[in-house]
Amino acid sequence: MTHDHDLVLRPTEAQIAAALNPPAGRNGGDLVVETLAGLGATTVFGLPGQHALGMFDALRRSDLRYLGLRVENNAGFAADAYGRITGEAAPLLLSTGPGALTSLAALQEAAAASAPVLAISSQIPTAGLGGGRHGYLHELPDQAASFRGVVKSVHTVRTQSQIPSAIEAAWKSALTAPHGPVWVEIPQDVLLAQTSIPVVTGGDAFPEELPPRPELTAVAADLLSRAARPAIIAGGGVVRADASGKLKQLAETLQAPVVTTPGGKGAFPWKHPLSLQSWIEDRHTTDFLEDADVLLVVGSGLGELSSNYHTFKPRGRVIQIEADLGKLESNHPALGIHADARLALQALLETVTEREDGGASPSAPERVREVLAKVADRIDAQELTLEQGVLASVRRALPADSPSFWDMTILAYWAWSAFDAKGPNHMHSAQGAGGLGYGFPAALGAAAADPTRPVLAVSGDGGALYSIAELATARQYDLNVTWLIVDDGGYGILREYMTDAFGEATATELTRPDYVALAESFGVPGVRTTPETLEADLAKALQTAGPSVVVLPAVLRMFAPTHLTT
């Protein structure tokens, strides 16, 4: 009897010939790039350093496309976005010590957002490993320890023969639900030494599936089928699992209103009769969700930003579908289903009974309209026409199929609630880890992933200064990114927070450059706009190939929070 696990792929004659006669001049770095190419990678991001030169030299002998950024953290953000857009593991090549550590904030964001990033770093020579403090340049007692609390998995290499298997295992880990960043480190001497190991000609790293337990989905389907007032919260797991179509089908079958979290933007059609949109930071929405007798939470841990800052207290039965086991029931007791969102939603679709909501009074769409009207009235009462107008101008200027990447800035906080992403995987922000500097380098990664669509980046002037050097990257590779910088002279949201809390702000005001002149010094066209001309200026920039900068001098305000008065 032959079992599936006994089957071995036989090498082709060409593979045998290549193995018996490997080309001269290869080193450990070649094993890295050959393994990546064999696994299907086409593009790598990074920044060279002394210990990593073996990998970068090997790129010269490969067909992999390299995009070099100016700061390792920005290279990590670019890889993060590439992974989100393509669904592939995005290789990120780094050097030992300072270079590696500079990527930590980007890897934290990738982990929080479940973006598949394959970080491969050099290490000090093998003679210095073990924490002996030999004084090698860039030496850390335990470099991998700095990453274990951030990434999904850590893979260490000590010999050249370990390179293909370690990278293959890391690739599989990055793409197994929940997606996330992984870490591989290889000593400098292993990368530089000549190798007689045959050319790596293929890879088999299909991610493991994470199906739901059938007894749990049976209970969940029964609860949902019998619910009088079901509702759904859709998080980033729906987007990562490419499960929006199944979510829509289930919501319509159950006549269940759907709200999307900031990470789940676009997972459900904005204008659908059952769409509560993304106003999860509004008490009217949270009250509605609390009143649901059965609440289905898909692909969200109901963390701070997805629970109106932990003021959301569901009273009905909660069903939570979550691929990250650590997030399952981490905030609320639930029927926890550890599964990939797509597989779990499919199981529910095969089991639930269609609910007839037509006789209910009011019907689900009527209740949705009522909630959205209350939200609109609350916002309109705050006289925030500038902010609403700016966001509307951005939406009208941005093509419906173009992705956008938002830094941690006031306009992004508005977008979390009020921006129609026009589809799944179209709007991305740094709301996972909440670090500054994400928007522009992430947009560069997205433009590298799909050069056929213009990409929008949105930053405040504070966040822009984190990634201003990447204007050189945008110009060098002629990436099709328009960067909107809202210039309010400082860290605007922190200015608001401090003024509200302490009566005045400290350390929030910034001396900043002339962003238009600075962009032009990089060879990137720039324009200074106004709220009245923003739509036209932004649309023109997006329609023009290559990078561009649009600067909007404006002081925007946030809408009043509802979680502080609960």
State the sign of the Cα–Cα–Cα–Cα dihedral 213, 217, 220, 226. negative
pLDDT per residue as tens digits for the range 428-458: 999 889 999 999 999 999 999 999 999 999 9
Tokens of 249: 């089908």
Question: Which pLDDT band holds residue 424 (cuts at 50, 70, 90)?
Answer: very high
- 3 state DSSP class of 318: strand
pLDDT per residue as tens digits for the range 452-477: 999 999 999 999 999 999 999 999 99
Q: Are strands 258-260 and 294-298 parallel, antiparallel or unpaired?
A: unpaired
pLDDT at 133 (0 to 100):
80
Q: What is the SS3 string spanning 376-401?
A: HHHHHCCCCHHHHHHHHHHHHHCCCC
DSSP string, 184-227: EEEEHHHHHSB--SPPP-----PPPP-PPPHHHHHHHHHHHHH-
Number of other residues whose CB lies within 10 A of the CB of residue 271? 7
Number of other residues whose CB lies within 10 A of the CB of residue 511? 6
Separation CA 107–CA 433 (nearest Å): 9
Q: Compute φ and ψ for 181, nearest 5 degrees.
A: -80, 150
Whether 306 contacts 261, CB under 8 Å = yes
Residue 486's Cβ-side half-sphere holds a number of Cα atoms within 13 Å equal to 26
Number of other residues whose CB lies within 10 A of the CB of residue 408? 24
Tokens 């036209």 found at: 536
Contacts of the segment 243-251: beta carbons below 8 A, 24+ positions apart: 243/267, 243/298, 243/299, 243/341, 243/342, 243/345, 244/268, 244/424, 246/342, 246/345, 246/346, 246/349, 247/298, 247/341, 247/345, 248/272, 249/349, 250/345, 250/348, 250/349, 250/352
Q: Using the 8-state DSSP alphabet, how is residue 509 labeled?
A: B
> CA angle 202-205-211, nearest 5°?
155
Q: Does 181 score more than 80 pLDDT?
A: yes
pLDDT per residue as tens digits for the range 19-68: 667 788 899 999 999 999 999 999 999 999 999 999 999 999 999 999 99
Separation CA 128–CA 132 (nearest Å): 7
> What is the average pLDDT across 343-366?
87
Separation CA 464–CA 534 (nearest Å): 18
Separation CA 318–CA 177 (nearest Å): 22
**How high is the mean pLDDT of the chain?**
94
Q: Does 5 score more than 70 pLDDT?
A: no
pLDDT per residue as tens digits for the range 527-562: 999 999 999 999 999 999 999 999 999 999 999 988
Residues 6 or more apart whose CB falls under 8 angstroms from that of 392 comprise none
Q: Are strands 317-322 and 335-338 parallel, antiparallel or unpaired?
A: parallel
Separation CA 42–CA 25 (nearest Å): 22
* Closest CA relative to residue 529, chosen from 555, 513, 549: 549
Q: Does 518 score more than 90 pLDDT?
A: yes
Tokens of 83: 């992974």
**Which pTM value belongs to this model?**
0.95
DSSP string, 63-86: --EEEE-SSHHHHHHHHHHHHHHH
| pLDDT cut 90: percent of the chain above it | 86
Question: Which pLDDT band holds residue 359 (cuts at 50, 70, 90)?
Answer: low
